[in-house]
Amino acid sequence: MEFSRRKLLKTSLAASAAIGMPHLWIPGSSEAWGATLKKGEPLKVGVLFSLTGALAVPEEDSTLVLQYAFDEINKAGGVGGVPVEPIIVDAKSDFSVYSEKTKELMLREKVIALFACYTSASRKAILPTVMQRDHLLYYPTCYEGAECTQNAICTGPLANQHSKDLIPYMVENFGKKVFFVGSNYVWPKESNKNAKIWLEKAGGELLGEEYIPLGSSEFGPVLNKIRDAKPNFIFSTVVGASDIAFHKQFKQEGFKVDQMPIASLTTGEIETRAMGPEFGAGHFLSAPYFQSLDNPTNQKFVEGFLKSKYGKNGVTHYNMEETYLSAYVFKAGFEKAAAAVGFENVTPRAIRDHSAGVRIGDDISPEGEVWIDENNFNTWLKPKIGQCQGDGTFKVVKSADAQVAPDPFSIYPDLGVCTKDGLKAPDGKIRKSVI
């Protein structure tokens, strides 16, 4: 039951004929994008994040850092010799607006690529449209994986990379017993499945696993359960406002950070600033990037960004850095595609296909060298562990020795392996567009 353009065209025509309306335009797959590039005209890319509403907190930073990145790229000569023109749209924290604006950017603005989304839910909302138009989404955030599309490139850590070092580190330094707390949705649950694998390898013991409704701010019941279980540390995948409430109530309920620290995949510089550093200090975070990373590229990035007109929020954090990288991944992929098929013939899909193996060296990437996986188009990167200090910055206590491979189906080996053409099942069959 493969999706067939030809059949689609026929049936749509038949349907419209039945209704008696003559006007119809259906794209074939080669012209799905529906535009051609002209040398000399700026490259339009869509930048779709929430600037208002509940998601604006992380996503406004993403928009700002992308603008900064494209300015930087344009100053250095642009992409493939032409400047990039980011078209910035506000998704208003509303999933149906994400969907609507994606269509607008793709169908009307004819952008060549889309940089969008922070939450998985919004990504899921726009992916059908992106896939249908054979378009290209840059998704610059950590996520759970278990997707194999031919239309997305992700620059954040996957669940299998994220906690690989964190769990053994915590077990080694604080003890074997751990309690998992997460927000009640897909990403925390998937992350915890991965974490359990690392926990088993490290010889740790899982005492309990609790999920809190998204947006909930009542952690009393969970903290009581933790108190009874007496773990050595807490592994947290609580997100957003709940995360802040969690850290505050952790301290208010009398938990001591040196006796039972929280090892988190989310609590970064913005969260710490929002809760007040006294609630964040001492806890741990695993991320590929911290503002305090000590290398020349990062110093240049932090100083350059904070001084620029986009640096008003006064912080750089892991999600911003991953977003920053995505602009350079786009540049590299586009230029490779243009070299291969000619500038005029570049399509979103061509960029994606030529992005396989693209490397961003440590002269550009603040977190150190990364590259795009040739099969699943996620990113090879080095997760690092930081401990929050009294001033809200993070001190790196451990950094992976080598880049960790992304594997979106690491915990579902039965489903297959993600290849560049689709998900290859153990029986050899390949399915496209698995989301």
Q: Give the strands of the sheet with 417-419, arranged side by side.
A: 417-419, 422-424, 430-431
Q: Output 51 or 400, the one with its CB closest to another protein.
A: 51
Pick the piece of the chain touching another protein (CB under 8 A) from 245-253, 317-325, 381-389, 397-405: 245-253
Q: Given the structure tokens 């000569």, which residue do they identify?
A: 77
Strand partners, 399: 384
Alpha carbon 176 to chain centroid distance? 30
Binding residues for another protein, rule CB under 8 A, total: 94
Instruction: Restricting to residues 247-266, name those near another protein by CB under 8 A.
Output: 248-249, 251-254
Instruction: Restricting to residues 384-413, name those near another protein by CB under 8 A.
Output: 412
Pick the piece of the chain touching another protein (CB under 8 A) from 164-172, 270-278, 369-377, 393-401: 270-278
Q: How far apart are the C-alpha atoms of 1 and 217, rounded to whole Å?
A: 45
Q: Output 105 or 153, the one with its CB closest to another protein.
A: 105
Strand partners, 225: none
Instruction: Restricting to residues 174-213, name those near another protein by CB under 8 A.
Output: 184-186, 189-190, 210-213
Q: Given the structure tokens 């991320």, which residue do they identify?
A: 287
Q: 369: which 2 tokens?
A: 């060298």
Q: 174: which 2 tokens?
A: 């604080």
Provide DSSP, 4-70.
Answer: -HHHHHHHHHHHHHHHT--------STTSS-----TTSPEEEEEEE-SSSTTHHHHHHHHHHHHHHH
Q: How far apart are the C-alpha atoms of 165 and 170, rounded to whole Å?
A: 9
Cβ atoms of residues 408 and 147 within 8 Å: yes
Q: Output 184 or 297, the one with its CB closest to another protein.
A: 184
Instruction: Restricting to residues 23-62, name those near another protein by CB under 8 A.
Output: 23-26, 51-54, 56-57, 60
Instruction: Restricting to residues 298-317, name those near another protein by CB under 8 A.
Output: 313
By CB under 8 A, residue 292 contacts another protein: no
Query: Hey, is 209 helix, strand or coil?
Result: strand
CB of 124 to another protein, least distance (A): 5
Instruction: Restricting to residues 65-124, name those near another protein by CB under 8 A.
Output: 89-90, 92, 94-96, 99-100, 103-104, 107-108, 119-121, 124
CB of 67 to another protein, least distance (A): 15
Q: Output 222 or 332, the one with its CB closest to another protein.
A: 222
Q: Taking CB under 8 A as the rule, which mask of x and - marks residues 330-369 in contact with another protein?
A: ----------------------------------------
Q: Output 62 or 365, the one with its CB closest to another protein.
A: 62
